[in-house]
Amino acid sequence: MLIIEEKTAVVGCADWNKRLLLLLLIGFQFITVEAQERKPSEVPLQTQEVSQYQHWLDLMAADQGFADRSVEIGRTGAFLEFLGRGSTVFRDGPVDAIDLYASETFQNSANEISWEAHYVDVSRAGDLGLTAGPLNFLADELTGQFGHLISIWKKQEGRWVLMADIVAPIPGFLSLEVEPNFDDTRPVLEETAHPVMATAQSNNMQMLIDRDNLFGQSINFRGGQRALLRYGLENTRVYVPGMAPAVGADAASSIYGAFLDNQLSTTNQISLTYMGGFLSASKEVGYTYGTMETLEDGSEQSFRTSYMRLWRFTASNEWKIAVEVLSPY
């Protein structure tokens, strides 16, 4: 199977500081991927992976069905068909997804889109997961806008529904000729706690919310790079505007720190506001979302971004970030 993955691209980054430019020159071998032949999961599945692999296939099929329906009936119709109760999309901050897509104003202005998943992650219980991949906004026949679409999925009444949807834009071409591979998901499974540890009574949604808030505080004390190194998986993924996905602790934390350093021209601390999330029944996967912003004091430039995080409970008995997405507004 030929899978063509995106090459790392940085477009419109003239304002990025020297630190990031240095990373672009010497560090992107970690996140640049070449077109290559890959075969689906040549490594034999372990017994405990079999059911999870089936959940992985089911979620991949749901995302593909969603993309196909968008082509068949249009973006608005497809979203209204797949959005779940209480779902969220990110525009100028998190907003109710169903209200937005049902509004006449949005329906009259929304551009059509096309996308393909290149990464899929899912809980052991098969009730919570994430898909991510390149996106093309079909603005008109001559120009297009591109980015990465990251989606959170949840089982409602036995059916995969879309619960959160966020875009990290890239003003440049991204190939949609990609496919996910279970071998890309395996490393995060290996970092995940044993089912007995994950399902302990002390591990609950409040523990995850507390961890989410601690990460925001850590950014203030440590800076973005060191905070993600402390709170991210060894195989964490980062999606920020203008960048290809950064994969692995070193590359992801470097890009994350450089992006925040560039954005935070103020000395004001970041205030994190948790706004929602969900914990899987198997309690080893959860997600959180909300906003991070600096307080305006009239003399400094403010910074405001939506965030969405997929977390995994690890063998070290703590929650760590598997996927981090920022969408400034």
Tell me which fold the domain 46-185 belongs to: Nuclear Transport Factor 2; Chain: A, (3.10.450)
Q: Which residue has the higher pLDDT, 215 or 267?
A: 215
pLDDT of amino acid 49: 64
Are 244 and 8 a contacting pair, CB within 8 Å? yes
Are 11 and 86 a contacting pair, CB within 8 Å? no
How, if at all, do strands 119-122 and 270-279 pair? unpaired
pLDDT of amino acid 4: 36
Are 266 and 300 a contacting pair, CB within 8 Å? yes
How, if at all, do strands 319-328 and 232-239 pair? parallel
pLDDT of amino acid 111: 80
Encode burial over 13-51: b for 16+ CB neighbours within 10 A, e otherwise: beebeeebeebbeebbebbebeeeeeeebeeeeeeebee
- How far is C-alpha 136 from the geometric centre of its chain's CA atoms? 17
The DSSP bridge partners found for residue 162 are 83, 153
pLDDT digits (tens, 9 = 90+) for 39-97: 444 555 565 566 899 999 999 999 999 999 999 999 999 999 999 999 999 988 999 99
pLDDT digits (tens, 9 = 90+) for 110-158: 788 899 999 999 999 999 999 999 998 876 544 568 899 999 999 999 9
Residue 318 burial (CB count, 10 A)? 13
Percent of the chain whose pLDDT exceeds 90: 66
Query: Which class is 196-328 in CATH?
Result: alpha beta
Query: What does the pLDDT average to over 221-246?
Result: 95
Max avg pLDDT among 2-11, 27-36, 163-172? 163-172
DSSP notation for 116-127: --SEEEE-TTSS
Confidence of residue 172 (pLDDT cuts 50, 70, 90): confident
pLDDT of amino acid 177: 83
Model confidence, pTM = 0.84
Q: Residue 235: name the closest of 276, 271, 188 by CA.
A: 188
Rounded to the nearest integer, the mean pLDDT of the chain is 85
Query: What does the pLDDT average to over 22-39?
Result: 39
**What is the residue extent of each domain of the chain?**
46-185, 196-328
pLDDT of amino acid 319: 98
